[in-house]
Structure 1
Amino acid sequence: MESIGNSGPSTAPVREETQGETFKLNIDFIKFDSPVFLLIAALVAVTALLYRKRDSYPSAQTQWPAVLRFITIGLILTGLAGPQFLKLTNNKCILFIVDISQSIHEKEKEAVRNYIRLKIEEKGKDDRVGVLLFAEEADLVIPPSGLSMDLLLSEASRLMESHEAGRGFTDIESALSAAVKLFPEGFQKKIVLITDGNENTGEASRLFDDLKSMSITVDVLPVGGVNHDEVLVESLHAPFEVRAGSPFTLEAALSSNTETTGSLQLIVDGQEKGFLKDQFKIVPGHHQIYRFPVVIEKSGLHDISVKLRAEQDGFFINNRAETVIFAAARPKVLFITDPASNNPRGPLKHLGRLLTDNSIDVEYLPADLLPAVSK
């Protein structure tokens, strides 16, 4: 996210969580992790049909065992294909919380209007945008709606010019508290806080954990000339789908207006996993890219985030960025071997290697270790 005003870095949008039951689903399908097994299942089905045609009048004693055998094989192959039922949503509700206290000058307010205009132009057809203005208190609100860009901006500009009461104070805490009550249900929730950070009443930092627990992401956009050292995480990117146990690339973008030393920590599902880069030199500049190999062992959806710790910094809320990944489980094939053989894995050696090379786990089990079946 670009900064507004004369100088200073800013944040980029971070991963937003989805919740609720009224989302419009833009993807709703079944995905197969290893579709080659579906081809094998089709061949099995063709074989079954040919078998049935060959035996024109199969008896019940021969027919049903064959049917059950083919059904079992088909289910096993379908399981190996790794079916995944995916539903993804992208409807967003973005609320701009704009500081209009006396410390914000007219030139900077015009930059704010231009920035909001740009972001409204980027919003999706079903997204909603709202504007909350605050100084000592947040008492002028444009509720989140699907209004046109021109109507939204004209109303925001009018309110920014007309509001005078309490401009000597900046209470970010009350503004964030008011914003929580404005979000409609069924949308990803995001706050863009536009302020110079000169909070002289309230304590916004104690609300940030509560906002996270409510699945509300927060971006802080410094406005005007930032008169303090500032280091932040602009963005975090990773492929949405990865393979459990296999490395993938995590890309973090940093910005800084000062030279300092920092550490970048990896957090997976809320658990700290160590430092991706410890005690490294941070130089002034925007969009400094760092790439790291990361391995997730457990399959399923995971929250991935990085947290930056810098020796010289002003805002701390923008030192963290998040994304989400889906780690697909590795399929596994169990081979039953002959315990009496001198080389039980010999006949399966090449097939096992082929499966392993294609990220499929292989396990061998002697037949005499199978559970006994009572007659």
Structure 2
Amino acid sequence: VRSVIIALITVSLMQPVLYRSGAWESIVYLLDVSESVSPPAIQSAIQWIQQTNNLGHPDHSRFVPFAANSTVFETLEQLKVVEVATESSRGSIDQSATDIEGAIDTAIRSFAPHHLKRLVLISDGNENSGHMLNMLSRLKSENIHLYTVPIQARTNRDVWVENIMAPADVTAEELFPVEVHVYSQGETAAEVQIHYGDKTLGSRKVQLIRGLNRIAFDASIKDDAGPVTLEAEVKAPGDPFADNNKFRLSLVVEGRPKILYVEGHPQSAKYLQTALTNEGLNVNSVAPGMIPTSVEQLDAYDVLLLSDVPRASLSEEQMRSLATYVRDLGGGFILAGGENNYGEGGYAKTAIEEVLPVTFEAKKEKPDSVAMIMVLDKSGSMGGQKIEMTKEAAKAPLALLKDTDSFGVVAFDYNFYWPVKFQTVSNRSAITQAISTIIAGGETNIYPALREDYIQLAGASTQVKHVILLSDGRSWQNRKSPSRP
């Protein structure tokens, strides 16, 4: 994304000049000639390249102008007369986009063999095609030193879609969060839309500020299953470059989730079954005796729901298969309570109890002291109703804890912070207010937050210590590179 590239370019303000001896050095200069760079800035960059190359006297050098595409020149004179166009045409550089990733790939293949490899990137960092960060590991593995030199962008009121953030996988008809990142060079009114094929999934009129704007949507895709492409588009009055106003992202739509619903009171099954079906779930309702004993058959379902099913209604083989389905295959399991399964007895000392986060043993004595930390996922996938429900869940323990008990909240996206520092529960109103201020946004990185909780609780002297993780488990990391049209 552009912000990361700009940070990389900022580090390079030392203005690298290659003073060492040029023997056995191969240098490739990458020059951004896209529409976002002004012609005077390009000419200044060419002069800088000439001065630097003359000072360094490298054994081998190549010159690569790039925008949407790139080409390799052996001499600087060829670079000075490079042909450019506002659209793709044979023999010219297409200025309508900026593909730094593709340009670096071209450069890597242009180095002389058995030489020290030096790559000089001269750009405004406004990448809107490809993903430069994908090349960093390759540069490192091939021992290529990268130098970056900032180049001045055009002064205008350009607006563009820089990125789309959405879960990698969603289910059909499920409401999922989408966050569109729009960059604006000035304050302006705009309309941001999300499209899927010829359908508009969402549209918002917004007032853009100078810099990065994050616009959140809730979207759903009906009926289709398999890979699909979302397209975000921004429209603003007076926008001089329309070619960078769209951004595309691929995701996978799974079929409707399959639920195996087992009801202890068959006459009541229709109520929950109807509610689940209305939410877009595929529900198969069976009697307790019809629960498969084969793990392979259970694996055909996304979730198994037991509603007030007596322990005596299930065989040991059924319970062992259910436990294997949850523990080893990652199947979902919901145990809805009632007089048949909660309370002393119930599923105590069974395979089902082993895979549940609670036990059925009745504890008569309450602990003298409790330390509890809520770990709350505030990433972009938790937007909308999810984050509001999660914040209410984080507040719920306050009604049960004593004033002398300890409580804290860690919120995380890619990084973490403490909206509620680890403290006694006496000031409930301030704690509740702090939890309410949490806003969803960003990527997901769970481990650092959990490690912080462990360190905090390791030093606590309370009788009981709890960490409760509230998350949808969705990560926006390790996505394939998004692309523009």
TM over 0.5: no
* Structure showing the higher strand proportion among its residues: 1
- TM-score, length-normalised on structure 1? 0.41
- TM-score, length-normalised on structure 2? 0.33
Between the two structures, name the one with larger relative contact order (CA 8 Å, sep ≥ 6): 1
